[in-house]
Amino acid sequence: MSSKIIIIATVILLIASFSVLFVIEAKNHNYDYNKAWSVVYFENPRDNSLDFSIENHEGAEAEYSYKIFVGDDKVIDEKVEINAGAKQKISPVIPSERLSGSKVLIDVNYKGADYKIYKSLGK
- Do both 12 and 63 map to the same domain? no
- Do both 94 and 57 map to the same domain? yes
- Do both 68 and 85 map to the same domain? yes
- Do both 114 and 86 map to the same domain? yes
- Stated pTM of the model: 0.72
Residue 23: which domain range?
1-30
- Do both 43 and 21 map to the same domain? no
Alpha-carbon distance 88 to 19, whole Å? 36
Give pLDDT tens digits for 31-72: 666 678 899 999 988 888 889 999 998 888 899 999 999 988
- Do both 43 and 92 map to the same domain? yes
- Do both 15 and 60 map to the same domain? no
- Do both 41 and 93 map to the same domain? yes
Of 80 and 36, the one with more pLDDT? 80
- Do both 13 and 68 map to the same domain? no
- Do both 42 and 26 map to the same domain? no
Split at pLDDT 50, 70, 90, the class of 115 is very high
How many domains is the chain built from?
A: 2
- Do both 3 and 61 map to the same domain? no
What CATH number did the domain enclosing 65 receive?
A: 2.60.40.1710
- Do both 60 and 22 map to the same domain? no
